[in-house]
Chain A
Amino acid sequence: MNFQVNGRAAFAYTATHAVDPAKRSVVFVHGAGLDHSWWGLQSRYFGYHGFNVLALDLPAHGRSEGPALTGIGEMADWVRKVLDEGKIKSAALIGHSMGSLVSLEFAARYPEAAQKIALIGTAYPMKVGEAFLDAARRNDQAAYDMETIWGHAAQVPLAGNPNPGMWMYGDTLARLARLAPGVLHADLCACNGYAGGFEAAAKVRCPALFVLGRRDVMTPPKAAADLAKAISGSQTVQIGPSGHSLMAEAPDATLDALIAFLA
């Protein structure tokens, strides 16, 4: 679906279905440097099982026009405008990594619009190492390599992708190669600079789910524990063999957790 937000072209994948006001809506928010297609299997499932699906491309990602937004709060406000454009009053938000912080902040700022939030591969604070930030600032290939290697469990390069024939490292690197200069750095700065996690958590009134990869070296489960405690009644699902890219590394387990949560 193509629409305009703040006068700029924006895109959301809808699984080839038009938005139906009678259906519940699910909004997917991707992580740093990625795009809507990162949710391929999960977004398609919900789109074909009675939900409106909006898998977003944040500004300067995928098919949405830049420039990149520079803060998590700004991104949450942008998501709200997307819902307004789609005439969607409220939705479940599913966010990965940077997108999980956006979903959290959205639920705090717009409690009436957040039915549920699922935070996948999350941590708070989501600190980013100086070497990673510096490489991204220089648009150096090393930054894309770091995101790719740390973004997957150690066993991933040995093969065994649940999606037949695809190489996860190559897929991530190819996506990152399409980014305009500065976009990854802007995203990483947004994650690194986000300081409102606990305040936002205290304001969350909707059900919250944490989906965490036990082999995640970027946002290990222990780094999400305090945030999970800060959201009243939140549930946590840990997925055994997965690293940070849960939707690709453990697509079925991730989907099953979401199906149970959104039921």
Chain B
Amino acid sequence: MPIYQTTSYVFRDAAHAASLFNMERAGHVYSRISNPTVAVLEERMAALEGGVGAIATASGQAALHLAVATLLDAGSHIVASGALYGGSHNLLGYTLKRFGIETTFVDPRNLNAWKKAINQNTRLLFGETLGNPGLDVLDIPAVSKIAHDAGLPLLVDATFTTPWLMKPFELGADLLYHSATKFLGGHGIAIGGVLVDSGRFDWEKSGKFPQLTAPYAGFHNMDFEEESGTRAFLLRARREGLRDFGACMAPMTAFQILQGIETLHLRMPRHVENTRKVVVFLKGHSAVQAVMYPELDTHPDYKLAKQLLPRGCGAVFSFDLKGGREAGRRFIEALRVFSHLANVGDAKSLVIHPATTTHYRMPDEDLKKAGIGPGTVRLSIGLEDADDLIADLDRALKAAK
């Protein structure tokens, strides 16, 4: 795959330039809007997810922002799972509020709560396929039905599952995104995101999205749905969102993520296999109070996970140490194979203490709702020899006591 390390593209002539700008011809104008290397990543992700297309972004957070900014205006409302990555929780709970977009967070397992939280301004339901960090399994068939009955789309963050573990569109989700930084890349060398549209949500029928079904003065009075049907969402997201907000992916990053995707089907089974071994070890350890992994029958989503995630529940999970915050500190600092850093989904095993890092801005009440306690430790299991990982954990657990 060649890397088109360029900002822009020479037009054949003036007419060709005008036609590209007015969407009469296909092609690339400027790499903020599209780039051939990035486009290959977008197309392959759409193929892996079964969508109509995709937009690669500067990060996973940029993908979430692009989805929200394309569909919602000031005065709009989101119903979101309360079990989200801290950055997403912050964006929805605080930052978007400044721009007039309100979010109601609900217990993702409480289907009635999803339904009750929808109001006349709601435009989006949002959750993670596997919640962060407690691995709450989102009941996509049920939540998408609630969304569709209300004429609304369901957006999911599918970072933890990847297309190898779950196909959210087949379960009913309408839009999804990944932090491509994680399992898709797998190498921990590139930050990126990708937003994918199933093309199955009928914006016209919903009647709640004039952004896609009414003339838009910002692009020659284009009615995106009329213009492009199933491509309406991505058309506006690219032509407005990438153009105006500009959180695009660099071509080198797209190349690096593409290298990762080529081995996704080999890495994910190994991630899951190693995770299962580590989970069994931790579950039987006297220093561990609880392990949150949906393949354990103690996890509240055990049955749902069997149904929605038959290939496994991923490689990121949490456990609670006996001894709280101080034990957590000693444990993390004693680890040698695990890297202590703020990332997941790497080929290398990673560890972090959510209450003081990824989720540190969340109030205690919200932390509790998200299943995070002072002694909760999040692990991302890599591709190393499982025995080495277990030996490292065993040593650190002894140090934590």
Contacts and interface: CB of A to CB of B under 8 A. Distances in A.
Interface of A: 13, 16, 35, 37, 40-41, 44-45, 48, 62-63, 157, 159-167, 169-171, 173-175, 177-178, 251-252, 255
B221 to A, nearest CB: 5
Given A41-B26, A45-B24, A170 B34 contact: no
A37 B24 contact: no
Contacts of A163: 26
Interface in B200-235: 200, 202, 204, 215, 220-223, 226-231, 234
Interface string B16-36: 000100111111100001111
20 contacts: A35-B229, A44-B22, A44-B227, A48-B22, A159-B39, A164-B39, A165-B43, A165-B56, A165-B234, A166-B43, A166-B46, A166-B234, A167-B43, A170-B46, A170-B51, A171-B53, A177-B200, A178-B229, A252-B26, A252-B27
A54 B152 CA distance: 31
Contacts of A161: 39, 43
Given A45-B19, A166-B46, A169-B47, A175 B230 contact: yes
Contact of B229 (A159, A162, A170, A175): A175
Q: Please classify how large the interface on chain B is, using the bins under 10, 10 to 19, 20 to 34, 35 or more.
A: 35 or more
Interface of B: 19, 22-28, 33-36, 38-40, 42-44, 46-47, 50-56, 198-200, 202, 204, 215, 220-223, 226-231, 234, 238
B46 A16 contact: no
B13 to A, nearest CB: 13
B26 A162 contact: yes
Contacts, number: 116
B28 A171 contact: no
B10 to A, nearest CB: 15
Contact of A164 (B22, B34, B198, B200): B34
B42 to A, nearest CB: 4
List 7 A-B pairs, minimum CB-CB distance, nearest first: A174-B199, A164-B34, A167-B46, A166-B53, A45-B24, A165-B42, A37-B229
A11 B357 CA distance: 55
A2 B26 CA distance: 27
A161 B23 CA distance: 15
Nearest to B53: A166
Contacts of A174: 52, 198-200, 230
Nearest to B51: A170
A171 B230 contact: yes
A159 B26 contact: no
Contact of B50 (A16, A162, A170): A170
B250 to A, nearest CB: 15
A165 B24 contact: no
B52 A41 contact: no
Contacts of B228: 37, 40
A170 B52 contact: yes
A82 to B, nearest CB: 17
B8 to A, nearest CB: 14
Contacts of B199: 170-171, 174-175
Contacts of A160: 40, 43
B226 A166 contact: no
B178 to A, nearest CB: 15
A24 B200 CA distance: 36
A126 to B, nearest CB: 24
